[in-house]
Structure formats: structure tokens, C-alpha cells
Amino acid sequence: MSDPVRREGGAIDRLTALLSKLPGLGKKSAGRILYHILEGDPAYAKLLAVELARLHEAIRRCSLCGGFTETDPCPICADPDRDHGLICVVERPQDLRIIEESREFNGIFHVLGGLIAPLDGIGPDKLKIGELLNRVRRDGARELILAFNPTIEGDTTALYLQKILKDLGVEISRLASGLPVGGDLEYADKLTLSRSFRGRIKL
Amino acid sequence: MSDPVRREGGAIDRLTALLSKLPGLGKKSAGRILYHILEGDPAYAKLLAVELARLHEAIRRCSLCGGFTETDPCPICADPDRDHGLICVVERPQDLRIIEESREFNGIFHVLGGLIAPLDGIGPDKLKIGELLNRVRRDGARELILAFNPTIEGDTTALYLQKILKDLGVEISRLASGLPVGGDLEYADKLTLSRSFRGRIKL
């Protein structure tokens, strides 16, 4: 028998291969998505193609905070109504977006571009830490909120920043870690439980 | 506060909205995929865009079997080495592909384009059943294998085809239903267990 992959033609295989490189998609889910597109309105595929083709031209990094934006500086950094003395430090641009969507924060952001991970060869020099120091020194931020994931890398990076920033007179805090709202004690892992004890809140 | 969605710019939101319409993707996974593309090589996004833009032009339906193909008739229907007396009837084009990849079958295919589902308003007239009858009558197929999912709709459609084809002297079978290979009796549902008893194989 000839190669089954060749029977349907290259376009399907090329697109399946491309889609299966996306995070969270394997070969099966990429195939399901592809057939959904194929059986659907061609206008949808065209629109998706147009948006993808111009994505990297439309979106750049903000030269101040490092977040994704269509204008530089980004609307957050350029907004005089935000508190520019309060900087939320995040690992990645998508963390910035998640925090913005929660509408919980009215300061500005700083994207580190990663977390310190010695085992992966990521030292402080690979991150935008110099830029953060400049922003604290130059713009006189009075408070930093470190919004890293509660992981070893997040802890390491928070400790490192605390150390190098301690002489600059800036207040530093980190997002609380503990039981998720709506969660169940029974399903909490030991570390989360331990953190929620250490970070318990007086009533 | 202004709309957080507007801060990053419309391109991100438009693409997130488009991606989250795909099967299996919600808003969160669409966002994860989008940021992965944004942080990745722009060449990848361009390539994906090119393939999507020409997908519907490159791929059409085979006028014989109804499967997706770049040439008409498709390479399977045009292949003289395949057994044209043996037709595997499937619900959707992707089922055809899955069976081809298993390399288990050397006949030809017929895509019904759905299964009979009265509650969803899908009667036999909505499916390519007339075309199947023509293929059986005209091309003299000697055997049909119904490769439908073991669901109520699959059962209904199989019964219907059995009824209307019974005078044409064509042998009809259906894929075996039972315990999946590597599965565990303990986790089998009652219906699957019942089917695997009824379809038990003499050793």
C-alpha cells in the first residue's frame, strides 16, 4: 500500500503538522481542528490566515514594560491615570494580560521575560532585571509586587530580586499563595497547604 | 479603568476570539496558543497563515467517495490496486483518514456526511445514502463495512442501511464493538461489556 499520508494530499498533512506544534495540541487534536476548519466556512480560514499573517507586524514589545502592544509605549505605560509608583513584576506578557483582565491592579507592569532557572541555564543576566533596576531608580517606584507562579523558579527569582533591591528603599511584596477559592482542603497538595498555613490571615 | 482588552490592541483579541472557536479550545487555551505564536518565530505564523489561506482551494471533496482530496477522484478511488468491491462506509472524512492510517483496510470508502439523528433533524435524506445505493448498484460492490461510532446514531444508521440494502445482495458488516485493547474490565461501562459479550469470538 502507498503512504496513507499522501492519499489525501500534502495540504492536510502540512497544516496538521504545523497545528500539532502548538501548545496543548497533539496530532489527534490538530487533526480534529483541521477537519473542523475544512468542513466550515472558508471565510473563517481566510480570516484566521489574515490575522496570523500580520500578527508579528501588528504586535511589538513595549520599550518600557516589555509587554505586547500595538503602540509604543503601550497604553498601560502611557496612561497617566495609572499609579506609576507601583510596578507589578511578571514572568511573561500573558501574565500581564491575566492580571489586567482581573481588574485588580491599577499600577504599571514589568515583564522579566522568564524566571531564574539555573538548571535550564537561565541566570539573572538573561532576564530584564537591569531594566527593572533602572525603572526603580530612574522613575522612583515606591512598591513592587512580584506576581510569579508559586514554583521553585518563582521563589528563586523573588529571593534574588529582594536581595538586589533591598538598598533601593522600595517596598516588595509577592502574591499570596494558598488554597484556590472554591478549592477543597481534601485535594490540596502538602506544599499548598503548608503555604496557606504560613500565609494565614488574621481575622 | 479603560477596557483591558483594548490595552494590548485589537490584533491579539481578534485572533484569540477566532482561535477560541476551534473545537477543544476555550478562551484560556486560545490565549496560550496565541502567546506561543507571538513569542515564537514569525516565520511559523506566516507559514500557518499561507496554509490556512489556501486550504479550501487546495482541498475539495472527491466526487466518488466524498472524502477530502487534492485531486478528483481521490487517490484511493483512483487506485486500481484497491478492492473496489469492498466499500467502507464512514460518517465523516476524518474517519476515513483514521482508518487509512491504521493500514487495516484495502477497499474503497464512502462518506455519508453524518449519521441519522432524528432529534437533531438529520434524516436519511440529509446523508449521501442515494449515492451509496448508486455505487452499490452501478459498481456492483459485494461487501459494505459500516464503520460508524458505536452510538445510538451509529446503530440507527446501520439498521437503516441494512434495511434499504437488503434486496441488493450485498454483504453488510459493522466494526466490532467491545473492550478496547489494553483496557480493563473494571473500567468498562455496562453497554461496552454487554456488546463484548454479544460479539464474543469463538477460539
A101 and A50 assigned to the same domain: no
Residue A68 falls within a domain, yes or no? no
User: How far apart are the C-alpha atoms of A42 and B143, rounded to whole Å?
Assistant: 36
Q: Do B86 and B54 belong to one domain?
A: no
Same domain, A16 and A107: no
A12 and A51 inside one domain? yes
Q: What is the ipTM of this complex?
A: 0.78
Q: Find the CATH number of the domain harbouring B47.
A: 1.10.8.420
3-state secondary structure of A73: coil
Region B17-22: mean pLDDT is 95
Residue A18, min C-alpha distance to chain B (Å): 7
Q: Which of B23, B47, B52 sits opposite A36 (nearest CB)?
A: B23
Classify residue A202: in a domain, yes or no: no
Q: Distance (Å) from the C-alpha of residue B176 to the closest C-alpha of chain A? A: 22
The answer to whether residue A13 is domain-embedded is yes
Whether pLDDT at B6 is above 70: no
pLDDT band with cut points at 50, 70 and 90 for residue B203: low
A116 lies in the same domain as A154: yes
**B153-198 tens-digit pLDDT:** 999 999 999 999 988 889 999 888 887 877 777 777 888 888 778 7
Alpha helices by DSSP H, listed for A20-92, are 27-39, 42-58
* Conformation bin of residue A11: beta by default, left when phi > 0, alpha when psi is -120 to 50: alpha
Place of cell 483541521: A34
Q: Given a cut of 60, is residue A3 above it in pLDDT?
A: no
Side-chain-facing half-sphere of B43: CA atoms under 13 Å = 1
Quick check: B23 and A33 CB within 8 A?
yes
Shared domain check, A160 and A129: yes
Domain-located, residue B17: yes
pLDDT of residue A109: 96
Number of domains in chain B: 2
Q: Do A52 and B49 touch (CB under 8 A)?
A: yes
pLDDT (mean) for A14-29: 93
Residue A200, pLDDT > 50, answer yes
* pLDDT over 60 at A29, yes or no: yes
User: What is the percent of chain A where pLDDT is above 70?
Assistant: 95
Residue B174 belongs to what domain range?
A: 68-197
Predicted confidence band at B9 (pLDDT cuts at 50, 70, 90)?
Answer: low
Distance from CA of B188 to the nearest CA of A (A): 23
Is there a contact between B97 and A31 if contact means CB atoms under 8 Å apart?
Answer: yes
Question: What is the rounded average pLDDT for all residues in chain B?
Answer: 89
On whether residue A66 sits in a domain, the answer given is: no
Q: Say if residue B97 is in the same domain as residue B170.
A: yes
Residue B107 CB neighbour total at 10 angstroms: 18
What CATH number did the domain enclosing A145 receive? 3.40.1360.10
A36-89 pLDDT per residue, tens: 999 999 999 999 999 999 999 999 999 999 999 999 999 999 999 999 999 999
Q: Are B85 and B141 in contact (CB under 8 A)?
A: yes
Shared-domain flag, residues B79 and B49: no
In this structure, the answer to whether residues B42 and B92 fall within a common structural domain is no
CB contact burial B120-155 (16+ within 10 A = b; e otherwise): eebeeeebbbebbeebbeeeebeebbbbbbeeebbb
- Output the pLDDT for position B93: 92
pLDDT at B201 over 70: yes
Regarding whether A94 and A41 lie in a shared domain, the answer is no
Q: Would you state the pLDDT for residue B178?
A: 82
A45-49, A67-71, A161-165, A187-191 — which is least confidently predicted? A187-191
* pLDDT in the model for residue A121: 93
Is any Cβ of chain A less than 8 angstroms from the Cβ of B72?
no
What's residue B49's pLDDT? 96
Q: Would you call B103 an interface residue with chain A, using a CB distance cutoff of 8 Å?
A: yes
pLDDT at A203: 67
Establish if B63 belongs to a structural domain. Answer: no
